[in-house]
Chain A
Amino acid sequence: MRLRHLLLVLINSIIFVAFLGHAAYSAWERSAESLRQIQRDVHSLAASVAAGAANELLEHRFDQIETLLLRSAAIGEVMELAVADAEGKIMSLVRVDRDGRAQPIYLPEEQRIEALWQQQGGDQYRALVAIDFGEPIGWVGISASLAKLSEIRHQIWFDSLAAALLTAAVASLVLMLVISQLTRRIEAATEFAEKLDARAGNLLGVPSRIHEIKRLQSALNNAALVLQQRFAALQNSEARKAAVIEATLDSLITVDSGGRITALNPAAVTTFGYSSEEAIGAYLSDLIIPQQHRAAHIEGMRHHRKTGIGPILHQRLEMTALRRDGSEFPVELTVVPFELDGQTQFLGSLRDISKQAALQIEQKRTRALLEQTLKDLAAREHALNEHAIVTIADRHGNITYANAKMCAISQYSSEELLGQNHRLLKSGLHEPGFYADLWRTIAAGKVWHGELTNRRKDGSIYWVASTIMPLLDFNGVPYQYIAIRTDISGQKQTELELAANHERLEQTLTSYHDAQEELKRARVKEVAIGSQIQSSLLFGEVPAELGELSIAAHTEAAQGIDGDFYDFFTFGPSHIDLAIGDVMGKGVSAALLGAALKQQLNRSMTSSLSLAGQPPQPSTLINDVHAKATPRLIELETFITLTYLRVDLDVRRVTHVNAGHTPTILARAGNTRLLSGDNLPLGVFESENYSQSSLDLEPGDLLFLYSDGATEARNPEGEEFGIDRLQQLVGSLHAQKIPARMLLQAVRVHLQQFEQSLQPSDDRTCIAILLNDAEPPGCSSTSIELPWALDQLALLRHEIAALATTAAFDEAAASALVLAAFEAATNVIRHTPQPLPDATLHCRIEATPAGLNVILHYLGAAFEPALTEPDFSGDSDGGFGLYIIQNSVDEVIYDTPTPGVCRIRLEKRRPAAMLPPAQ
């Protein structure tokens, strides 16, 4: 088939298919759009009828509705229009007849719009729209004929196809004209090429007038000419190459990509011993590649076939090859790939380098040996020169060589030394026999070792350890001496100094020990001063009793001095204020801040006191302290927790401010509760406003205040003592009516036992304030605190006697009680080891109408007296006291109200005659 015909058929087919496709698509689109348009029209008509009919339907104006429908029926392709009420009952119906006239239809019986709309069929589009008047009040139904749509569709299809066919025909015609020009030129060019081909390389005249064809024909002519010339050149080149290959001394072997030999030159035949006939077609690996390289060779060929990559190509390699007789020899190999008939082939050029290889190995070995030797020598010389002072002298001792170290130590330059005799260096400090001995040794051809002094150019002396070695000639006579020396001046100096230093060291050690002792004494003094500062600056005086209040306070510092502080202010017989605080941190800085805050409290209190001596409200006071102290505390980046508490005994009321301090424990009637506040510590926020809260007190109430050193005490397992445990402990001690001071001691013992340490890990302050029960009528009492010492019991005797007098108690009976109490106290102090260094014995003496009682409280383990008859043998020192006590009072009770606290109660009743008359 001719190109021209092929192109015409192809292009025409494409154009027709394309235009027809486009026409069909646009016709389909337009038809669909027409349908959509009709649908939209019908819907908008229905909507507009619904809008128009709404009001009329509401007013039941069916005549108006009918008029509206008749008017609307004239629009578009409407076939039927109906309005129905909300239930769907048709109220008005209009139909368009075949002549296009709209007629109202009066249905002989009731019909529903949906029924009517369903029963119709055919080529129609129907729309049903609700008449909405706030709520649906009826329906509008419209049927429109689609008959016109199919007409429109036919028209659209006809138009589109006609337009497409016309356009395609025109396009084909134009293209045919264009293409026939082109194809005619191609045919002319083809004809020319055919002729050129038939003339077998002889050139033709260029007949065409068309530029492109003319150029093409000239190009073909030129190509034919060049090919002819190349062919001739190639023939010459081939002949030359064959001659080179024949004549070359190198073995040339070509193999195909499968590794089979395809050609080899005469040199290869000679070198390997295979004839051309034997070699060609055989595998290279079988013939000339030694066994150890065969696997690598085969893998290399396979890799090249697979990837086209050959790492050994174009390289100059040295390897071994195998002759026919089985001998291996070194070769230099170059492999180059080339294309032959579309197949990759490899040309290997091998040169026998057996002789060169042997020569090279020998040369290399010799050179390496020489280099190593020279290197060793140089290294040794360098090492020697670096390390030692070296000179060489002739047989007369004249210096022929001196190294840099020699010059440096002797201060002579090399020029000054050369040619000089060694005598130049003599120090003159050795005996004359020393040098004679030296010379005797070396002249005899022996090596001399020894230490000697030499003199520098400036006359100073230096020490060297020297080795002098003679070099002997063939006759065994020294002709040269090499002296190798090491500078030992420093060592010699050190030896001398060492002796002197030893003495000085002993002196220094003595004074160091003295200084240590001094330091220890200073520390002890500092701690003592700290404690003094603390007690004077940080802790106010504790008023032990105030009305019905018993107050006890105690503080222990972690580092001898701490940041806990407290202070008391009393206003008259029935008011007392207490401030307890804790400065963040420990040591002197915390103590100073605590002292400063305590001072500020005092200052604020003084400045706020009314003229009548009335103190300010606690919150007012604390807000004043806060205003003064907080800016400074913020600067110092520290803070202070504080509880300020006021007890007013007149109204039995406690008022307190808590600035981030540990909550106060209130123990009452066997229960405990926490009095806490929600204010932040002082020194946190300048804008903080401190508020107070109040609480009525009842007789017997205990207020227990403490620093966090109490709750944060830890046992060796790291467990915290905790507020719950403290609350429980204080509660149980209070429940047993333990006096305030004793209670405080008991708490301390518990904390000590918990921590298993005598020294608290943090500053720890506790204060107990007990509102004592009121004395029953006719009763009086007194409490005293006795130091834990046998010689301090006189006060006990005195107080019992005093109360007995006041209570008009029988003197003899009182003496008996004194005896028993004294005996009991002595026994306790003597036999009960105390866990606290400042432990006390608490004594309460009560006078009641029934008699006189003494109650002793002290720390210790439970005491179980085994009362027996006294042993008067003198072998035992126990038992006698108990006997006395038992017989001196009416009743004695030993008990342990709570673990760690013991109690002895001694009761002495009034003699019968003294009892007041029974009521």
Chain B
Amino acid sequence: MDSPCRRHGLLALLFLCLAVMAPAVHAAPPLVVAVLPQYAADRVQRDWTPALNEVAKATGIPLKLKFYASFREFEAALLKGEPDLAYMNPYHAVMANKAQGYLPIIRNDAEQLTGILVVRHDSPLQNVRQLDGATIGFPDPNAFAASLYMRALLAETLKMRIAPLYVKSHANVYRQVVNGRLPAGGGLRMTLTREPAELQAQLRVIYETPPVYSHPIAVHPRLPVAQRSALQQAFLALGQESGGAVMLVAIQIPVPVSSSYADYAPLAKLGLERFVDLHKD
């Protein structure tokens, strides 16, 4: 029953398969993209996939998201130079640069982060130094400007000792201060202004950090310069495309601008690593 016709058909099918698979076989392995594990993996996947797809399409460089279960894993990966491309907080930008020479290429332009310390509007406290030895609420040990940066500044520049109490979110920090459960709490200027006016009216800012640039995307120096540049251009271009704005908002870089290590170098002297809680997931 072996007819010549059938034999030709099988051959044709084999060639077709090879033709389809050829590009995959010859393409370079995708770049590993790491994202600061602020949120659960599914949210990271949801927020980042559209932007990365767009960038990959524009550059022709395949990108692959890699998820980390905790801060510790994320930082360990950075120290080892595992990811090719990483979205990280300013402290990481310093740390990763020191360890592996990671270089920031993109950051948000819109505003700089300003950490604030708030007290109740009728609090007798007038000066931040009066909080020496007090329990102060923070959203999370590793929240950068509201907690990490703030605590580093209080300790390093103001030489204060405080007892931090982590209450999970900015909103909760403000409400606990308003309720009188905490004498003071660390937050961000940006998050406070999003709160209802009535709540803001109940709070008074007693101290604020110098502004810092927000979270950058950095690349490993092993990437060829052409690739680094192509990726930077692709992210910058994303703002120009239709639908790109939504993708940028999702990855918390609504207005991307070029960045360099110089944006983050001033943080190096604060010794931020001492304020990182690596046991925190």
Q: Which residues of A contact B171 (CB under 8 A)?
A: 62-63, 66
Q: Is the CB of B199 within 8 A of A106?
A: yes
Q: Min CB distance, B178 to chain A, in Å? A: 5
Partner among A61, A105, A108 whose Cβ is within 8 Å of the Cβ of B172: A61
Q: Which of A60, A66, A106, A108 contacts B167 (CB 8 A)?
A: A60
Within 8 Å CB of B202, what residues of A? 106, 108
Within 8 A of B (CB), among A67-100: 91-92
A residues 691-724 in Cβ contact with B at 8 Å: none
B30 within 8 A of A: no
- Chain B residues, Cβ within 8 Å of A276: none
Which residues of A lie under 8 Å from residue B176 when comparing CB positions?
60, 62
Which 8 A-B pairs have CB atoms at the shortest separation, nearest pair first? A63-B171, A62-B175, A63-B172, A106-B202, A106-B198, A106-B199, A106-B178, A63-B169
A and B contact pairs by CB, cutoff 8 A, 9 listed? A60-B176, A62-B175, A63-B171, A63-B172, A91-B179, A104-B198, A106-B198, A106-B199, A108-B122
Contact indicator B175/A66 (Cβ below 8 Å):
yes
- Are B168 and A61 in contact (CB-based, < 8 A)? yes
A110 at the interface (CB under 8 A from B): yes
Q: How far is the CA of A881 from the CA of B273 in the complex (A)?
A: 142
Rounded to whole angstroms, the CA-CA distance of A106 and B199 in the bound complex is: 6
- Which B residue's beta carbon lies closest to that of A109? B122
Which residues of chain B are within 8 angstroms of A848 by Cβ–Cβ distance? none
A59 to B179, CA, bound (A): 14
Within 8 A of A (CB), among B65-84: none
User: Is B269 an interface residue, CB under 8 A from the partner?
Assistant: no
Residues of B within 8 A of A110 (CB): 180
| Bound CA span A64–B176, Å | 12
Q: Is B7 interfacial (CB-CB < 8 Å)?
A: no
A103 beta carbon closer than 8 Å to chain B? yes
Residue of A nearest to B203 (CB): A106
The answer, yes or no, to whether B224 is at the interface (CB within 8 Å) is: no
Neighbouring B residues of A109 by C-beta, 8 Å: 122
In the bound assembly, the distance between CA atoms of A108 and B37 in angstroms comes to 37
A104 to B199, CA, bound (A): 9
How far is B167's CA from A271's CA once the two chains are assembled, in angstroms?
A: 135
- Please indicate the chain A residues that have their CB under 8 angstroms from the CB of B178 in the complex: 106
Q: What 0/1 pattern do residues 182 to 195 of B give for CB contact below 8 A with A?
A: 00000000000000
B280 touches A (CB below 8 Å): no
Counting CB contacts under 8 A, is B26 at the interface?
no
Q: How large is the interface on B (under 10, 10 to 19, 20 to 34, 35 or more residues)?
A: 10 to 19
The answer on a CB contact under 8 Å between A103 and B179 is no
Cα(A104)–Cα(B195), bound, Å: 10
CB distance from A878 to the nearest CB of B (A): 128
**Contact yes or no, B196 A103, CB < 8 A:** yes
Given A59, A64, A91, A105, which contacts B198 in the complex, CB threshold below 8 Å?
Answer: A105
Cβ-closest chain B residue relative to A108 = B202
Interface residues of A (CB under 8 A from B): 59-64, 66, 91-92, 103-106, 108-110
Judge whether B181 is part of the interface by a CB distance below 8 angstroms: yes
Which residues of B137-188 are within 8 A (CB) of A? 167-169, 171-172, 174-176, 178-181
Nearest B-chain residue to A66, judged by Cβ: B175
Residue numbers in A under 8 Å from B201 (CB-CB): 106
Nearest-neighbor residue (CB-CB) of A90 within chain B: B179
Question: Which residues in A have their C-beta under 8 angstroms from that of B168?
Answer: 59, 61
In the bound complex, what is the Cα–Cα distance between A656 and B197 (angstroms)? 108
A61 to B196, CA, bound (A): 17
Complex alpha-carbon distance, A627 and B221, angstroms? 113
Distance in angstroms between the alpha carbons of A105 and B168 in the assembled complex: 22
Complex: how many Å from CA A59 to CA B202?
22
Asked if B181 and A60 make an inter-chain contact with CB atoms under 8 angstroms apart, the answer reads: yes
Residues of the B chain whose Cβ atoms lie less than 8 Å from the Cβ of A92: 175
The complex places the Cα of A91 from the Cα of B176 at a distance, in Å, of 9
* Complex alpha-carbon distance, A313 and B207, angstroms: 128
Complex Cα gap A916–B106 (Å):
146
On chain A, the residues within 8 Å of B196 by CB distance are 103-104, 106
A66–B178 CA distance with the chains assembled, in angstroms:
13
- Residues B179 and A62 in contact, CB atoms below 8 Å apart: yes
CB neighbors of A among B11-45 (8 A): none
Neighbouring A residues of B172 by C-beta, 8 Å: 60-64
Shortest CB-to-CB span from B138 to chain A, Å, is 13
Chain B residue numbers with a CB within 8 Å of A66 are 171, 175
In the complex, the chain B residue whose C-beta lies closest to that of A59 is B168
> How many angstroms between the C-alpha atoms of A63 and B172 in the bound complex?
5
Q: What is the CA–CA distance of A792 and B179 in the complex, to the nearest angstrom?
A: 129
Please name all residues of chain A whose beta carbon is closer than 8 Å to the beta carbon of B181 when the two chains form the complex.
Answer: 60
How far is the CB of B78 from the nearest CB of chain A, in Å? 31
B183 CB → nearest A CB, Å: 15
CB distance from B200 to the nearest CB of A (A): 9
Bound-state CA distance A271–B56 (Å) is 155
B195 to chain A, nearest CB (A): 9
Chain A residue, CB-CB nearest to B137: A60
- The smallest C-beta distance from B2 to any residue of chain A, in angstroms, reads 71
Distance in angstroms from A211 CB to nearest chain B CB is: 88
Give the interface centre of A91, A92, A103 by most chain B CB atoms within 10 Å.
Answer: A91
Chain A residues lying within 8 Å of B179, measured Cβ to Cβ, are 62, 91
Interface centre among A59, A60, A103, A110 (most CB of B within 10 A): A60
Q: Which residue of A lies closest to B197 (CB)?
A: A106
Bound complex: CA A61 to CA B170 (Å): 11
Residues of B contacting A60 in the complex (Cβ-Cβ under 8 angstroms): 167, 172, 176, 181
CA of A66 to CA of B196 in the docked complex: distance in angstroms?
A: 12
Nearest residue, chain A, Cβ from B171? A63
Further 5 A-B residue pairs, CB within 8 A, beyond A61-B167, A63-B175, A106-B202? A60-B181, A61-B172, A62-B179, A63-B172, A64-B172
A104 to B174, CA, bound (A): 13
Distance of B172 from chain A, by nearest CB (Å): 4
A94 nearest CB across to chain B (Å): 11
Contacts of B199 in A (CB 8 A): 104, 106
Residue of A nearest to B169 (CB): A63
Shortest distance from the beta carbon of A113 to any chain B beta carbon, whole Å: 13
A61 / chain B contacts, CB cutoff of 8 Å: 167-169, 172
Cα distance, A61 to B167, chains bound together (Å): 7
* Complex Cα–Cα for A85 and B171 (A): 19
Q: Bound state CA distance, A108 and B120, in angstroms? A: 9
Query: Which single residue of chain B is at the shortest CB-CB distance from A62?
Result: B175
Q: Which residue from chain B places its CB closest to the CB of A63 in the assembled complex?
A: B171
Would you give the shortest CB distance from A340 to chain B, in whole angstroms? 106
Least Cβ–Cβ distance between A131 and chain B, in angstroms: 16
Contacting residues, chain A, for B122 (C-beta < 8 A) = 108-109
Chain B residues with CB below 8 A from A108, complex form: 122, 202
Residues of A within 8 A of B169 (CB): 61, 63
* B122, B176, B179, B181 — most chain A CB neighbours (10 Å): B179
B198 neighbours in A (Cβ, 8 Å): 103-106
Counting chain B CB atoms within 10 Å of each CB, the highest count among A66, A91, A92, A106 belongs to A106
B34 to chain A, nearest CB (A): 29
Alpha-carbon distance between A278 and B171 when the two chains are bound, in angstroms:
128
A60 to B198 CA separation, bound complex (whole angstroms): 20
| Chain A residue at smallest Cβ distance from B179 | A91
CB-nearest residue of chain B to A64: B172
Q: How far is the CA of A63 from the CA of B170 in the complex (A)?
A: 9
**In the complex, what residue of chain A is closest to B199 when comparing beta carbons?**
A106
A61, closest chain B residue (CB):
B172
Chain A residue nearest to B173 (CB atoms) is A63
CB distance from B204 to the nearest CB of A (A): 13
Q: Nearest-CB distance from A109 to chain B (Å)?
A: 8
- Report the minimal beta-carbon distance from B181 to chain A, rounded to whole angstroms: 7
Shortest C-beta distance, B121 to chain A (Å), equals 8
Closest Cβ neighbor of B165 among chain A residues: A60
B178's closest neighbor in chain A, by CB?
Answer: A106
Most A CB atoms within 10 A — which of B175, B176, B196, B198?
A: B175
Report how far A59 CA is from B167 CA in the complex, Å: 8
Q: What is the bound-complex CA distance between A103 and B198, given in angstroms?
A: 10
Q: Report B184 CB to chain A, min CB distance, Å.
A: 15
Residues of B within 8 A of A104 (CB): 196, 198-199
Looking across the interface, which residue of chain B has its beta carbon closest to that of A56?
B172
Report the bound CA distance from A91 to B169 in whole Å: 16
